[in-house]
Amino acid sequence: MRNPVSCFRTNILHKGQELWRENRAEFWFRALFWTFWLSVVTFPIGYTARDVFPLLCVVFLVGYYRHAWARSVWRRLGVRPLFYCLWAMILLGVVCSGDVWDSLKHAGTGLNKGFILPIIAMECVRDARDLRRLVWACVAACVWQGLDGVWQAWTGYDIMGYPLRFGRLTGTLGDYEVGNYIALAIIPAFGCRYLLRRRLGPAGSFFACALLLTPAFFLLQGASARSGVLAVASAFVFWWLLTRGRRNFLALSGAVFVMLCFALLQASRMSPETVANDGRWSLWYLGWRVFCEHPFFGAGAGQYNAAFRALGLVPAKDVITISHPHNLYLDILYAHGLVGFALGMTFLAGFAWWGYRHIRQRLLMRHDGDADRREYWILAGWFWVGYMGWLVNGIFGHDFYRIWWLAQAMCLLGIFIGAIVNGSGAVGEAPPEAAGEAPPEKADGAP
């Protein structure tokens, strides 16, 4: 009897060799897609995976562009100037910094781990099958990371050997910021309910989805990440905005339910006294003072600590070495000034509005029994909602250049961009690369 692993490896090699001979574009696409898929599943496992997989994806992306540039999402994307705004903001944060070399190192680390990811992700969505697989990748990440949190709560250590930190779960990230990671992973994973609905029906799919994501919610609660809970609650509000209708008020009740559950389970973290004494208020004040000192072009990327120390300021609650103001928008403002803030918000808000406009339009259309097509836009919508959840998460959590957190956002962004640009074709059909045909050109890159 042959070894199943050996048979699987032989089958993969055989198919790869066949594709290499017959359809190079499809070969590079599949290598790109499955490497990206693995990066989503293994994202929280450590820095090694987050460093290596994007670089491998870049290699496969170059090969794909060489053979299928005319059909690529990037070439057909009509809103590419939004990315130019992002790059201009980053350049401004380096060139106008008080310490150019330090800012270059701070911002440059995001090149291969964050800023390239939306371009990689957008090329990984060609049809409904790709979206389904990416949703299941998010579900798989939530399940295994959630179970790791359950194991850590039971034994005191996670599978990587990390202990609890200040009584809060850390998962494989080794820090309670895992709550923000799992919150942003849960949101697109909600799409599994729609994938299960055909076989299990509305009620069965709801309970199956709840069962699959229970470990992830356990980790979210155990990490006590208030900003992560806020992101999950906001997801239901954004879903309601995307699919407004009489029956969709259930989405708003979902937001209330999430917040109430967390408030009951983490009463001390949500008490008015705890919120009033939170160290973030002091960090925000320091960030504002730094901005007032450098209003037009900012103090430079990663210069928060040096800048407030130069003003003779100290945090009221946090250690003197704190490196960011715990607010995405204030971080962009102090580091890049008004000019950079305008560029950054053009990028962030521009894609938020662009995605909302296109996905909502498709969700409101009658699909005349085409369940695959409606499912496609529902799944695309949940990735857009995940990106919006990141924007909400940023009100209280992290800084723009926090690499793992930025990488999550860029993946979500790229996936819904690819879904929109490729969404005007017949969902579920064989992709043009596989069929050996070139799709019709689009005037502006949008469906």
pTM for the full predicted model = 0.90
pLDDT, position 107? 93
From CA 71, how far away is CA 431, in angstroms rounded? 10
pLDDT, position 6? 60
Average pLDDT over residues 27-37: 95
Model confidence band, residue 428 (pLDDT cutoffs 50, 70, 90): very low
* Average pLDDT across the chain, whole number: 87
Q: What is the pLDDT of residues 373-411, one digit of tens each?
A: 889 999 999 999 999 999 999 999 889 999 999 999 999
CB-CB contact of 384 with 337 (8 Å): no
**Per-residue exposure over 85-112, b if at least 16 CB sit within 10 Å of its own CB, e if not:** bbebbbebbbebbebeebbbebbeebeb
Model confidence band, residue 436 (pLDDT cutoffs 50, 70, 90): very low
The answer, yes or no, to whether residue 425 has pLDDT greater than 60, is: no
Q: In sequence order, what DSSP letters do the residues of 340-361 get, joined into one string? A: HHHHHHHHHHHHHHHHHHHHHH
From residue 279, alpha-carbon distances to 78, 135, 283, 311, 356 in Å are 42, 36, 7, 19, 34
Model confidence band, residue 122 (pLDDT cutoffs 50, 70, 90): very high
Average pLDDT over residues 98-125: 93
pLDDT, position 443? 34
pLDDT, position 47? 77
Model confidence band, residue 134 (pLDDT cutoffs 50, 70, 90): very high
Please state, as a whole number, how many other Cβ atoms lie within 10 Å of the Cβ of residue 228: 29
Tell me, rounded to whole angstroms, the distance of Cα 218 from its chain centroid: 20
Model confidence band, residue 5 (pLDDT cutoffs 50, 70, 90): low
HSE-CB of 380 using CA atoms within 13 angstroms:
35
Model confidence band, residue 83 (pLDDT cutoffs 50, 70, 90): very high
Q: Which residues, 6 or more positions from 424, have their beta carbon under 8 angstroms from its beta carbon?
A: 442, 447
The angle formed by the CA atoms of residues 81, 85 and 86, to the nearest 5 degrees, is: 120
The answer, yes or no, to whether residue 440 has pLDDT greater than 50, is: no
The residues pairing with 367 across neighbouring beta strands, listed in sequence order, are none
pLDDT, position 445? 37
Q: What is the pLDDT of residues 221-272, one digit of tens each?
A: 999 888 999 999 999 889 988 987 545 666 667 667 777 777 677 767 777 7
Token readout for 388 is 């919006």
The answer, yes or no, to whether residue 427 has pLDDT greater than 50, is: no
Q: In sequence order, what DSSP letters do the residues of 135-189 get, joined into one string? A: HHHHHHHHHHHHHHHHHHHHHSB-TT-PBPBTTB--GGGTSTTHHHHHHHHHHHH
The answer, yes or no, to whether residue 19 has pLDDT greater than 70, is: no
Between residues 432 and 324, which one has the greater pLDDT? 324
From CA 441, how far away is CA 447, in angstroms rounded? 11
Token readout for 185 is 């992973």
- Directed axis angle between helix 226-242 and helix 328-364, to 10°? 30
From CA 143, how far away is CA 398, in angstroms rounded? 24
pLDDT, position 172? 92
The residues pairing with 2 across neighbouring beta strands, listed in sequence order, are none
From CA 318, how far away is CA 34, in angstroms rounded? 42
pLDDT, position 289? 96
pLDDT, position 288? 96
From CA 352, how far away is CA 413, in angstroms rounded? 9
Three-state secondary-structure class, residue 369: coil
From CA 278, how far away is CA 98, in angstroms rounded? 30
Model confidence band, residue 218 (pLDDT cutoffs 50, 70, 90): very high
Rg of the Cα atoms in the chain? 22
pLDDT, position 411? 97
pLDDT, position 166? 87
From CA 262, how far away is CA 123, in angstroms rounded? 37
Average pLDDT over residues 158-185: 92
HSE-CB of 64 using CA atoms within 13 angstroms:
27
From CA 256, how far away is CA 233, in angstroms rounded? 7
Q: What is the pLDDT of residues 192-208, one digit of tens each?
A: 999 999 889 988 998 99
Domain boundaries, the chain: 25-435
pLDDT, position 14? 54
From residue 13, alpha-carbon distances to 9, 16, 29, 61, 436 in Å are 6, 5, 15, 20, 21
The answer, yes or no, to whether residue 139 has pLDDT greater than 70, is: yes
29-33, 171-175, 203-207, 363-367 — which is least confidently predicted? 363-367
pLDDT, position 93? 96
